[in-house]
A and B are shown apart, each in its own frame.
Chain A
């Protein structure tokens, strides 16, 4: 069974076709890096898988069933900036708010909820963070709690939206290593979106590159080529490999670090979607 199947899927957002007739299959247990310029639809793709945005045409199947809201088999780490950073609430109670959070009742975690919180904190090595107030944690530490929260309820599919953003290079590497260990230990399928390809190189089984409504899915060698990326960006690109690292250049610019100006990417808005 495939974890994710898109069949001729188009998704419109604010009058703009973010995904245009995308067809792809991601097998269970795969680690897929989701890449593409700002506004290419990385977040939209994840929200469509979660059933939060309907496809305007085509079908999306997740773990064998049509995409629908409230699927407990999906763990989601939204792209958030400073969630709860002003609160004195402890990491434990923050993570615990997601346990059965969709069911009505009182917010005081019982024995099983406590055990579940401890399990997920242990999985991401954040037992100690659980005792500290959110306001005292660094951005990277809070992201680790968000990852723990995504693991609640033993999901089979993890959607991690930009878990490396705002992290130093050293912490980026450990974020990738942590996600990779979750893939191997728990056997979960992982979609890991990022701005940069290089930190993901050792971990991804395949990459999904988005641009101008289209998608290219394949191994790094298949997708990260001048011809494929030029088609996705709609502008002439070169791919340069250097000491095991890959650089995508538009003329003299590195497109991952200096994004191509929006007017170069026909029909694309500069806002992230």
Chain B
């Protein structure tokens, strides 16, 4: 709705850079990933309060992140498996500690989103009107980008950089095609995402193909 779908993709890549960088300087990858995505999200939000500038801002951040990621990879030769895990994720290899971290990140995103959702929706649908009504477009742009970044940071650890895009954008886009109400749209997109993820894992179990493949396939199929 904010025409910012590309942002999710960029943030996931940025997360990869953050994680590889973290390993390099000896910090746990999840921390590097979270810090990096959130700061990139805030940067993107601050740069692009107006619709037209958003793609440019996202592009700049993406290019910068890929460059830094490359730099990290250049120094980072030892843990190739860890890099693969970050790129593609592994839904079935999550330990208790990660689950708690993810629950925390998820809950934080949902609470923040719930608090700002009304002005955010207003600013997204009617920026001129919202500005006239005293809503700071920049503030909400930054806050929203930070929340997306937080959610992305959580997802990357679970499903990998490449799958985040399929799960954050696909279900929401599909729901927007069907639903005519804000509430139904939100509920539907959550349901689509859960259905895709569960069906993907189930299919992976029976076919022995990677679950990531099935989830992306289902996400594309629903659209």
Chain A residues in contact with chain B, CB under 8 A?
47, 50, 52, 69-70, 72, 74, 76, 78, 80, 83-84, 87-90, 93-94, 97-98, 100-108, 133, 149-150
Contact = CB atoms under 8 A, between A and B. Distances in A.
A89 B182 contact: yes
Contacts of A76: 128-129, 132
Interface of B: 1, 114-123, 125-126, 128-135, 176-183, 185
A70 B134 contact: yes
Looking at B117, B128, B176, which has the most chain A CB atoms within 10 Å of its CB?
B128
Given A70-B134, A90-B180, A93-B180, A101 B121 contact: yes
Contacts of B120: 107
Nearest to A84: B125
A106 B114 contact: yes
6 contacts: A52-B131, A52-B132, A101-B126, A102-B119, A107-B117, A107-B182
Nearest to A78: B128
Contact of B134 (A47, A69, A98, A133): A69
Contacts of A83: 125-126
Contacts of A97: 118, 121-122, 125-126, 182
A70 B136 CA distance: 10
Interface residue SS majority, chain A: loop
B117 A105 contact: yes
A101 B118 contact: yes
Contacts of A100: 118
B132 A50 contact: yes
B125 A69 contact: no
Contacts of B122: 97-98, 101-102
A78 B133 CA distance: 12
A89 B122 CA distance: 13
Contacts of B114: 106
Closest 10 CB pairs of A and B: A70-B134, A101-B122, A78-B128, A90-B180, A107-B121, A102-B133, A50-B132, A107-B118, A105-B118, A76-B132
Contacts, number: 91
Nearest to B124: A97
Contacts of B1: 87
A100 B135 CA distance: 11
B169 to A, nearest CB: 16
Nearest to B123: A101
Contacts of B181: 89-90, 93
Nearest to B3: A86
Contacts of A72: 133
A105 B128 contact: no
Contact of A106 (B118, B123, B125, B178): B118
Given A74-B132, A84-B125, A107-B120, 12 more contacts: A76-B132, A83-B126, A88-B176, A89-B182, A93-B181, A98-B129, A101-B118, A101-B121, A101-B130, A105-B117, A105-B118, A107-B121
Contacts of A78: 126, 128-129, 132
